[in-house]
Structure 1
Amino acid sequence: MLHRIHPGVYAVGSPTLSVQARFLAATKATNGVLSHYSAASLWRLVDLDAAAPPQVTVTTRGTRRVDGIEVHRTRRPFKTMRLDGIPVTTPARALADASRALAPIPLCRAAREALTLRRATVKELLGHTKPLDEALALGFVPTQTVLEDTVDDLIRTTFEPPIAQQTLVLDGIPTTPDFRWPHLQLCVEADGRQFHEHELARQDDAAKQARLEAHGERVVRVTWTQATTQPQQTLQRLRNAGAPLRG
């Protein structure tokens, strides 16, 4: 059985579509390319907003309006790619297009994610929009989670930026504290156990901290709650530990 999704676009068997199928249907209905926030989410740079209409960009002036699709138009040719079988703008173009609608912190996180995943280079991201340039000006930090981003942003309000994800070989074991001031042998661990309460994860955390401390490192652990709802108390803990103040 065929189910009409958009004019000229039908689903076979069931009208319920996955997000990727919705994206593909939108590009077929408009003869366009997935773009803006939708493209950034397909590239796994931002969280998926399943309730939002798919966003596409077209280069034809006569493309009709299609209910349930947000259509953007441009006269300038742009590079397209395919991901999961869906025509999509490049990661750099997706972020540039989405940057005007994203708040600074989510945009900064998305830009860092693009760089961490090697979806784009700084050169590819610079010079498109002011918000994206400002996000990049904060500097690339190879963080791995939103919690690490949050802790890093808090540290930088008061202290000299530490080195992120510096791997040390301790007792022959690669050991990577989240943040470290090498000259002070002071580490900060973004404690994400509330997001993955798993016995093996807790054991790994304990073993990692024990190795660091056995080699003279001091470790300050910061949870999501401490970073977001107790920032001043957290900053005081870092001051007490001797974290270097910004000059």
Structure 2
Amino acid sequence: MEMSRHRSRAMRRQGGLQAVLHRPRLLPPHHCTGAEGIPVTTVARTVFDLAGCLQPGRTERALDNALTRRLVTLETIRGVTIELLEHGRTGSGLMRQLLMARGAGYIPPESGLEARFLAVLAQAGIETPSCQVDLGAESWIGRVDHLFRRWHIVAEVDSELHHSSKLDRESDARRDAALRAAGFEVLRFTDEQVWEHPEKVVTEVRSAIADAERRKTADSSFEPMLLPRSGSGNVVLTATLSLPER
């Protein structure tokens, strides 16, 4: 258990209580809320405080998990961070970096597997793809895990839980065929590959990017036009790319 309290307030010891006590200089009322009658810090303040005591990777996962579960918004966390930056709070630099990397339209990874995939790409120096993008032309094809817009490459990461049954595999195959017909290259990686063999993931992604670059050089019509479709809360991209047959 970890607890925060105002420095000006006294606190009686409770026998047998095992807790880490934080004594922040600044804990304004709007950084506090309640849960089942117990006073607690807000999600935004809690995420900020985690930046001062966790490794950067764990703080990043906590931030993205809170965003994915819609427990907090980036705007709220930015507000808390701006308030505390001038006070030199531990973790301020890390929170600034994390927020700078999450601009307008940022969509956090929906699972630990997707977060791991993005981390593998980042460590290899590969451009970060867009996450959770709806794709379609005349009709909606589906929402893909990752889209490398510049190269028209879709990358899916498949957990054994959701992609191991016969029906799952048949559904994935139909969608992959529709994406390829629309001009997208489709890569699929299992959770074992992402967690246990990241070097193979990197090799396959780099190979697909290299192939796309060669096609761009050979065919001037390769440049994709990704057009947002109106009337949807999510960005829907229309593929208008004509690729030469292999």
Question: Is TM-score (shorter-chain normalized) higher than 0.5?
Answer: yes
1:200, 1:88 → 2: CA distance?
A: 45
TM-score (normalizing by structure 2): 0.66
CA contact (8 A) 2:141 2:179 kept: no
Deviations 1:66-87 (A, max 9, x none): 3223333345442222345543
Distance 1:172-1:93 versus aligned 2 partners, 3 A rule: same
**CA shift for structure 1 position 203:** 4.2
User: Could you say which residue in structure 2 is the equivalent of 1:147?
Assistant: 113
- Deviates most, 203-212 or 151-160: 203-212
Whether 2:156 is the aligned partner of 1:189: answer: yes
Aligned residues: 192
Whether 2:97 is the aligned partner of 1:134: answer: yes
Q: CA RMSD in A?
A: 2.8
CA contact (8 A) 1:125 1:132 kept: no
Unaligned runs of 5+ in 1: 1-53
1:65, 1:205 → 2: CA distance?
A: 58
Whether 2:63 is the aligned partner of 1:111: answer: yes
Q: Which protein is richer in helix relative to its size?
A: 2
Unaligned runs of 5+ in 2: 85-91, 214-246
User: Could you say which residue in structure 2 is the equivalent of 1:92?
Assistant: 44
CA contact (8 A) 1:108 1:135 kept: yes
Distance 1:70-1:188 versus aligned 2 partners, 3 A rule: same
Whether 2:136 is the aligned partner of 1:169: answer: yes
Give the partner amino acid of 1:63.
M
Give the partner amino acid of 2:79.
E
Deviations 1:123-152 (A, max 9, x none): 235344222223334434431111111111
Give the partner amino acid of 2:199.
Q
User: Could you say which residue in structure 1 is the equivalent of 2:53?
Assistant: 101
2:197, 2:33 → 1: CA distance?
A: 44
Give the partner amino acid of 1:158.
G
CA contact (8 A) 1:96 1:132 kept: yes
User: Could you say which residue in structure 2 is the equivalent of 1:226?
Assistant: 193
1:161, 1:171 → 2: CA distance?
A: 28
1:63 to 11, 14, 18: 11
Q: What does 1:36-75 correspond to in 2, within 5 Å?
A: 54-59=1-6, 61-66=9-14, 67-74=17-24
